[in-house]
């Protein structure tokens, strides 16, 4: 007698789609059986021919907890992730108060958030100029990677220069960690921003021109070179442009352990959306052209990307439209930068990739589960549908049509660039370690059932 059986499903692996039955005990996959075998179980779900994906992993989200719960918190952020089909989220260390830069802060953060998570979660540790002595401790505590900024960021989370990056990567290499980077060149952006302001170009085209491709390219290429020089594992966050992806691919082909992610918004929206619709579409790096969106998909298909992330970066309504922390918004440069998307990315990736572009579902099993699990050292627990792995599944009905509506969002602030988008192919079950957490757009799991995940031994 099993705890749970999933029958009549199309099981999506990274290289094949199989018809079969999945049996689960104690939260783990214990058998994958022929589809005509349906053993007894306490709970049996007829998947009705829909796709059973390995649970999707969001490699990059800002849940803002502790410290900025009025933007988002663990309860709402992980509920949204669950309804949207993610089963594990890797949460960022900044937009936390305090930012996660020491082991003592780690202890406080996990105590605060763990009672409220609906899905499993990992932490990115912080990497800032003054916490190099704490990096090994953060790794020991279970942070799966360490996050730094090359481009400008908020005053409470300083960016690294390349000298500091070199030292940090030398240190991180020693304990086998992975350093992740927001790659946009600091001086290029600062100069371009000033240039736009001096020219009175305070409109959305001015914003786009302040963050040109060259800024993302310069920082990415430099990080690749520092990774090569130090032998440190690197991860390039939220790649927005196919030319940047190509440079990463070339480094991967040379044998360097440099992983990268893109985000769902770079795979569906374009700079035209920024110009026409403004604040909700402001993010960094910015959205690119429509032809860049199409070419970026090529790097999802070929496995350059270990993750289609949300970069969920929520804020209040006022921070997009009127004021931020008491500062009035005067022009596009003052508007909060970030897209709320954690609830929409899986369905958008499925629709844009598998429905519109005819990409095999195996590509998403790879890019949203297997490769991210490997990049962040949690493969073996997460990332695949294999005996012994956690029973995490994202079950998608490929024919179900959808429209994203604000009132259906689980966020603290129910607004998103994705509102109004329509498509086909929707997560109908989100299952974490054998427990159904979301079903048909409704949250059915227990708050606090999400578990903190650390790197798999031996991975
Ligand atoms: Zn981010």
Closest of 250, 233, 352 to residue 301, by C-alpha: 352
Cα 240 to averaged position of ligand 1 atoms, centre (Å): 12
How many A from CA of 21 to the centre of ligand 1? Answer: 38
pLDDT of residue 155: 79
Run of H or E including 65: none
Q: For residue 260, which of 233, 282, 286, 232 has the smallest C-alpha distance?
A: 233
Instruction: Give distance in angstroms: CA of 308 to centre of ligand 1.
Output: 13
How far does residue 61's CA lie from ligand 1's centre (Å)? 6
Ligand 1 centre distance from Cα of residue 337 (Å): 10
- Residue-wise DSSP of 252-287: HHTT--EEE-EEGGGGT--HHHHHHH-GGG--SSPP
162: three-class secondary structure by DSSP:
helix
Q: What confidence score (pLDDT) does residue 458 get?
A: 67
Instruction: Report pLDDT for 459.
Output: 58
Separation of CA 151 and ligand 1 centre (Å): 12
Cα–Cα–Cα angle for 349, 294, 54, rounded to 5 degrees? 25
Cα 296 to ligand 1 centre (Å): 19
CA of 35 to the centre of ligand 1 (A): 41
Distance 94 CA to ligand 1 centre (A): 9
Distance 92 CA to ligand 1 centre (A): 7
End-to-end CA distance of the chain: 32
pLDDT, tens digit, 9 for 90 and up, residues 289-329: 999 999 999 999 999 999 999 999 999 999 999 999 999 99
User: What is the 147 CA–ligand 1 centroid distance (Å)?
Assistant: 9
pLDDT reported for residue 343: 98
Q: Which residues surround ligand 1, an ion (CB under 5 A)?
A: 311
The span from the CA of 438 to the CA of 392, in Å, is: 12
CA of 333 to the centre of ligand 1 (A): 17
For ligand 1, the distance from its centroid to the CA atom of residue 59, given in whole angstroms, is 10
Q: What is the pLDDT of residue 38?
A: 83
Question: What ranges make up the beta strands (E) of 140-232?
Answer: 145-149, 178-182
- Ligand 1 centroid, distance to 250 Cα (angstroms): 24
Could you give the CA distance from residue 424 to residue 426 in angstroms, rounded to a whole number? 6
Cα 341 to ligand 1 centre (Å)? 12
How many whole angstroms from 60 Cα to the centroid of ligand 1?
6
Instruction: Collect the ranges in the chain with pLDDT lower than 70.
Output: 458-459
Peptide bond preceding 98 in cis form (omega within 30 of 0): yes
Report field, pTM of the whole predicted structure over 0.75: yes
Phi, psi of 190 (to 5 degrees): -60, -45
Burial profile 175-202: b = 16 or more Cβ within 10 angstroms, e = fewer:
eebbbbbbbbbbebbeebbeebeeeebe
Task: Tell me if 129 sits within 8 A of 162, measured CB to CB.
Answer: no
Is residue 448 classed as helix, strand or coil in its secondary structure? Answer: coil
* Phi–psi pair at 429, nearest 5 degrees: -140, 135
């Amino acid at each position: 007698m099993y705890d749970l059986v999933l029958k009549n499903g199309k099981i999506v692996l990274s290289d094949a789609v199989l018809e079969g039955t999945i049996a689960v005990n104690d939260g783990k996959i214990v058998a994958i059986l022929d589809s005509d075998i349906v053993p007894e179980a306490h709970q049996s779900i007829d998947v009705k021919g829909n796709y059973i994906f390995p649970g999707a992993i969001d490699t990059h989200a800002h849940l803002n907890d502790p410290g900025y719960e009025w933007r988002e918190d663990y309860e709402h952020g992980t509920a949204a992730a669950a309804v949207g089909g993610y089963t594990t989220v890797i949460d960022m260390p900044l937009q936390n108060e305090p930012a996660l830069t020491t082991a003592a802060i780690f202890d406080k953060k996990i105590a605060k958030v763990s009672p409220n998570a609906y899905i499993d979660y990992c932490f990115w540790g912080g990497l800032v100029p003054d916490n190099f002595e704490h990096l090994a401790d953060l790794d020991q505590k279970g942070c799966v990677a360490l996050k730094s900024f090359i481009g400008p960021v908020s005053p409470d989370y300083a960016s690294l220069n390349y000298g500091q990056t070199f030292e940090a990567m030398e240190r991180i290499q020693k304990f086998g960690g992975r350093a992740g980077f927001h790659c946009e060149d600091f001086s290029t952006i600062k100069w371009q921003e000033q240039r736009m302001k001096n020219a009175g170009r305070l409109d959305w085209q001015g914003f786009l021109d302040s963050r040109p491709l060259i800024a993302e390219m310069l920082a990415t290429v430099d990080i690749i070179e520092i990774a090569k020089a130090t032998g440190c594992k690197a991860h390039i966050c939220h790649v927005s442009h196919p030319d940047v992806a190509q440079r990463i691919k070339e480094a991967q082909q040379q044998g360097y352990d440099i992983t990268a992610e893109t985000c769902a918004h770079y795979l569906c929206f374009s700079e035209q959306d920024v110009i026409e619709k403004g604040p909700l579409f402001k993010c960094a790096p910015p959205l690119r052209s429509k032809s860049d969106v199409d070419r970026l998909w090529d790097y999802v298909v070929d496995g350059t990307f270990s993750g289609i992330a949300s970069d969920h970066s929520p804020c209040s309504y006022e921070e997009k439209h009127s004021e931020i922390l008491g500062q009035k918004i005067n022009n596009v440069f003052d508007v909060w930068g970030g897209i709320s998307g954690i609830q929409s990315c899986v369905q958008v990736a499925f629709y844009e990739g598998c429905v519109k572009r005819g990409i095999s579902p195996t590509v998403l099993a790879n890019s949203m589960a297997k490769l991210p699990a490997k990049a962040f050292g949690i493969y073996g627990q997460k990332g695949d549908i294999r005996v012994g792995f956690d029973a995490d599944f994202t079950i998608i009905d490929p024919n179900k049509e959808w429209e994203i509506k604000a009132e259906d969002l689980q966020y603290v602030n129910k607004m998103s660039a994705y509102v109004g988008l329509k498509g086909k192919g929707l997560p109908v079950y989100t299952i974490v370690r054998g427990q159904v957490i979301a079903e048909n757009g409704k949250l059915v799991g227990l708050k606090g059932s999400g578990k903190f995940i650390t790197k798999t031994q031996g991975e």
